[in-house]
A and B are shown apart, each in its own frame.
Chain A
């Protein structure tokens, strides 16, 4: 398999050489940062580096990895919380939770294939990238479930925020600030997550819809129903593996077995006017939602860039049409239409079209995966208004005065 430009396995090998440090304790990680601070030396922050092609490349001679800070440190199933060191691989956490029939709520995607990685990503990486999957529409984003963190500032100081309880409004919530900050405000060393029981059963209604507008309308009707839809995606190219052809709207229910059966029946009746519907059972649902979660139906090739656009769902068909006109965009919708996955040529013209379409729809975009040849020269996130950008600089200066952590990763 070929890899996106500049993200080859060879590059990975180089970085893991002399330039990489992977301390095994929080203390030694803090000491490394203190040293880097004294030497005014920028650091590239990583878990296992599987998301190196996300956003923008970091210019730093040395990489600081949390891959050796591993292990679950506290798990209380009846308190709906789990705590682990930042470098713990996600599959290890999922496995511990599965033993107690629980799960990570935000359903973070496994993007191994998309990023051409061969090993699993870490908890710290998933939180730092605020990766949330389909369940986000009902149960919230990764950032909604981070109860507590331990982290190290750009000066090498360890600090905590939050804790281990589900409700906490004590002081400013730095957990929220660090979640999704891509390591630019501090290095996470430990994360406490809220978790939930896994549903006993899952079922999905797959509706063949005439076009994107019809699909979003069907999903809005599903989400506006009283049946607790926990996944609502639109597959523009159908789903070959499941033999679903045409444009397919998917609505998922997760609950006790009797409830799933009952709710799917009601939903099917309520959505009858939107198109012909097929029912997928638990096994088929797991398969289809796993692929939606990991954006497989997008069918992006390794050379292509991948964007994520977030808009109000009813604006999605307009974005889909605009991008179809601008370039040969491959598209897939999740979150009832509110999340648009886009794949296309890794060129400035396509990127410009994405930025424009997101802005015209009043939404937000991310250059999710792209070669450095593109991402180093374009904004990978929308620009912030000047007063907010000024606040952002001051906030960053409060946590990382010399700007040594992941310089350039998010904004110039």
Chain B
């Protein structure tokens, strides 16, 4: 179980006065204090944890965000930034003495420039919303987290979100040009701009993935790219996890970088097939989905090369999509993987760790052993090109013991990732979920350095307190 720091009693005691002050700073409809209306903000994608905040504010402009932050800073009030609340690591989980600043009303697209290939959007624009705004002209915004219908670009920046296509197109950090950034003191700073290389320290890179620890983002300038002529997928199934892993190595070793290279293990194949009827091979131990891009002739050429490589590994089956529809069918099972597992187990924990791809067979074998040891089912689906695992640990939320075991199992998997040279999180962030595991990846001195950088931005640790960094040995939070 994850603990939260004790709320500051003086702040709780001044709640009414704080709400009244916020009401003076913002239009009346932008401040929410009633328990019933704060309910939707009580939790995020890590739904096992809930906490009612002190208040919720929904500003509409950068200036309003700055005013609220300035006020909270002056009064020692903690702040929890929030986009769509799809974080799977509890990054947007409120604190009892904190004001949640939700940016969902900042959802305007401010500028689209196709000639210079960028767009300026407010932080509350959804990930898919950016692509929707430019796809008519053949352009797209590349990072595509599975949550892209809901999650917002501000949240993507703070989690440095990735997606199935990041083997080729990179993650959020690789697709940003500029930010409007508001400090806890309420200063508005423009970072970068609409050009590629800002000289000097890489603030853009430091802020990206900082999980709301350094400040808030209100506007984002993203690169937009022209889409390829077309794309097509294939599926290859194997009778052992090691063999599928070796096929992945051989594909990459041949010089082909597919746009997507996804790996599913047997339990995941079964769950997805039951849900999507995508024609997945139920006898296989592991399956790859591989997508390539280009003209039809180029797709044929690349899929042909990949088929020949896979053939060397005695696949139990292979299926090349003949059309866009068949590609969609292949993807349908994968895209619905989380939902599919949700159907076979009412509750699951979606873990997120990264390993060197060469360690795949060892790690999957160990996860299988732990599954037996804990008596909990687990399904694995992940981006094979970059070793980002998503074990889905199934448990029963009505049984506290089952939840406790699931968390412990998850922790063991993440420790294993670090042990083999990987890391605690590839895309979902540390949040509250992995906060206390940070010491398995970093020395205390390394954590101190990161904490000193946090302090350089937020001396009083008011921003998203109790996330990312362990609570123990932290004089800034203990109070």
Chain A contacts to B: CB under 8 angstroms: 76-81, 100-101, 130, 132, 136-137, 140-141, 143-144, 153, 157, 159-161, 163-177, 179-181, 185, 196-200, 220, 223-226, 228, 256, 258-259, 262, 308, 310-314, 335, 338-339, 362-366, 381-382, 384-385, 387-388, 391-392, 394-395, 397-399, 410-411
Contacts and interface: CB of A to CB of B under 8 A. Distances in A.
A169 B426 CA distance: 5
Contact of B423 (A77, A144, A170, A224): A170
B172 to A, nearest CB: 9
26 contacts: A78-B248, A78-B250, A101-B255, A157-B449, A159-B446, A164-B356, A165-B421, A166-B167, A166-B387, A169-B425, A170-B424, A171-B438, A176-B208, A177-B453, A226-B229, A308-B197, A311-B195, A312-B116, A312-B118, A339-B196, A362-B195, A364-B195, A366-B199, A391-B183, A395-B453, A411-B200
B127 interface: no
Contacts of B174: 140, 144
A172 B213 contact: yes
B298 A339 contact: no
Contact of B197 (A141, A153, A181, A220): A141
Contacts of B139: 224
B5 interface: no
Contacts of A81: 356
Given A226-B226, A258-B298, A398-B449, A313 B456 contact: no
Nearest to A162: B423
A388 B228 CA distance: 39
B117 interface: yes
Nearest to B301: A258
Interface of B: 113-118, 138-139, 159-160, 162, 166-167, 170-171, 173-174, 183, 185, 187, 189-191, 193-206, 208-210, 213, 226-229, 248-250, 252-257, 294-295, 297-298, 301-302, 354-358, 383, 385-388, 421-430, 434, 438, 441-443, 445-447, 449-450, 452-457, 468-469
Contact of A223 (B226, B248, B257, B429): B226
Nearest to A101: B255
Given A167-B387, A169-B159, A171-B430, A388 B203 contact: yes
B48 to A, nearest CB: 21
A363 B294 contact: no
Contacts of B159: 169
Contact of B196 (A77, A137, A159): A137
Nearest to B200: A381
B456 A388 contact: no
A363 B160 contact: no
Contacts of A224: 114-115, 117, 139, 226
Contacts of A159: 443, 445-446, 449
Contacts of B422: 163, 165
B450 A171 contact: yes
B453 A172 contact: yes
Given A161-B446, A200-B255, A259-B298, 4 more contacts: A314-B113, A314-B116, A387-B189, A394-B456
A266 to B, nearest CB: 8
A385 B181 CA distance: 12
Contacts of A384: 200
Contacts of B117: 220, 223-224
B447 to A, nearest CB: 8
A398 B453 contact: yes
A198 B254 CA distance: 10
Among B167, B229, B248, B355, find the residue whose CB has the most chain A CB atoms closer than 10 A. Answer: B229
A37 to B, nearest CB: 15
Contacts of B358: 76, 78-79
Given A223-B226, A224-B114, A169 B427 contact: yes
A78 B357 contact: yes
Contacts of B189: 385, 387-388
B201 A167 contact: no
A276 B139 CA distance: 27
B93 to A, nearest CB: 17
B228 A228 contact: yes
Contacts of B428: 169
Contacts of A173: 160, 173, 205-206, 208-210
Contact of B253 (A78, A308, A394): A78
Contacts of B190: 385
Contacts of B452: 398-399
A100 B447 CA distance: 37
